[in-house]
Structure 1
């Protein structure tokens, strides 16, 4: 009987771990989705509060890394808020900025304290014709697609965003489409660091890519069947028929 009890205890412990893992995956997925909903409506204070207080927290965005909670604040509460909604917390009439979050792949660290996840983003944005003469951007509409490779941390029992890396893949005016996008049209968001630029990044990250650049953002996870990571050369994107050595280096996640 004692052997049966011991075996049942093992089963219960295993099930408890599996339930905890599944619950954590669900919480992180919801956290990322909520991030997207807040970002849609320029609720930058709410976005800021989703981030960890850890000194290792950062946001990596279009050529810059914003470090710590202070860096997170400079990006969302200062740079984004001033650029999109003239410093307020919340939307402005006639301005669209939807960030769909989808295709989440969440992996919990065995410790249960940290996690990694990959999400795809699709953004549709622009101004309504009724505000074209009053909004500083005039009449615009555009698409954007990209991928997040993020890390999360559990603080006091609550999952928070720890390290967010966003890689935009393509950016296109609605009427012209992505095939007609001029190369180099999207410049790094921050080319001067803080404090020279009061709302700039703490560090410049030389990993800006955009269509027609089709390099692969590295996967935080291994292949589910082979257990192998995708080789660096297979993450690169040479021209048709050219050797991979002629192409740009593989992207890195920069842990």
Structure 2
């Protein structure tokens, strides 16, 4: 690992602070259903951007990310926001900025809850705990999301324990908002499966090595 100068160490601390703020904005925008603003947090001119999660699947490229957030998250329209509330808080961050200052990796645990349902029906309340694994890149002097994978912990009605509840199949998305492919990482709690370390917290590194926090050592299927 490269030994950093005092100036470089101070810059890395500033980088970590900026990445924390970026992730915080992501959480706030998600709660307010501000999906255009969410897309703006992503790298626009860097190849190989992608997001993957159990709710919608794997979306690749900047236009794919727009299809995910502005499309898949909002396809039911404004009426679906009535009575809806999604809150995913951020805890236990582990963030490492590359010694060259060009990329970074981070993980978070996210206790949260979601409220919603089909328009015209009584909203339902759920506990929704998950983990984020993300890679970041500095684009035009500003930190942006590069890759993100969402790992489920458990999703259950507020009045039921996670041992009792199996996740139902999600409502199919309209064709124009479907993912590039389905996720291969199902990590939600299951009584018959082991809990695994996913994502893996990052270690200090000199330069991007292709092993990001949005990646994982092996496919996980607790579905």
- Please indicate the TM-score interval, normalised by the length of the shorter structure: 0.7 to 0.9
1:79 has 2:72 as partner:
yes
Are positions 1:49 and 2:33 aligned together? no
How far apart in 2 are the matches of 1:137 and 1:175?
A: 19
| Closer, same or farther: CA 166–174 of 1 in aligned 2, 3 Å | same
Matched residue of 1:17: which SS?
helix
Aligned 8 A contact 1:40 1:97 in 2: yes
3-state SS of paired residue (1:198): helix
Aligned to 2:213: none
- TM-fit CA distance, 1:218: 3.7
Shift in alpha-carbon separation, 1:222–1:160, aligned structure 2, 3 A: closer
Task: Say whether 1:104 aligns with 2:93.
Answer: yes
State the TM-score, normalizing by the size of structure 2.
Answer: 0.80
Q: Give the conservation status (yes or no) of the 8 Å contact 2:84–2:123.
A: no
1:218 touches 1:251 (CA, 8 Å); kept in 2?
no
Please tell me whether the aligned partners of residues 184 and 219 of structure 2 are also in contact (alpha carbons under 8 angstroms). Answer: no
Structure 2: gaps (5+ residues): 205-215
Paired positions, count: 203
- What CA distance in whole angstroms lies between the structure 1 residues aligned with 2:87 and 2:199? 25
- Is it true that 1:199 corresponds to 2:174 in the alignment? no
Structure 1 residues without counterparts, runs of 5 or longer = 1-10, 224-234, 237-248
The change in CA–CA distance for 1:148 and 1:171 in structure 2 (over 3 A counts) is: same
State the alpha-carbon separation in 1 of the partners of residues 219 and 50 from structure 2.
Answer: 22
Asked if the contact 1:217/1:251 (under 8 Å) is kept, the reply is no
Matched, 1:118 2:107: yes
* Structure-2 separation of matches of 1:139 and 1:156: 42
Structure of higher CA gyration radius:
1
Between 49-58 and 205-214, the greater mean CA deviation after superposition:
205-214
Question: Whose helix proportion is higher, 1 or 2?
Answer: 1
* Conservation of the 8 A alpha-carbon contact between 1:57 and 1:67: yes
Counterpart of 2:159 in structure 1 is 175
Are the structure 2 counterparts of residues 137 and 28 from structure 1 closer, same or farther at C-alpha, using a change threshold of 3 Å?
A: farther
Report the Cα offset of residue 155 of structure 1: 0.8
**Aligned equivalents of 2:47, 2:170: Cα separation in 1:** 25
Partner of 1:217: 198
- Over aligned residue pairs, what C-alpha RMSD do you find? 3.0
State the alpha-carbon separation in 1 of the partners of residues 57 and 114 from structure 2.
22
Larger RCO (alpha carbons 8 Å, 6+ apart): 2
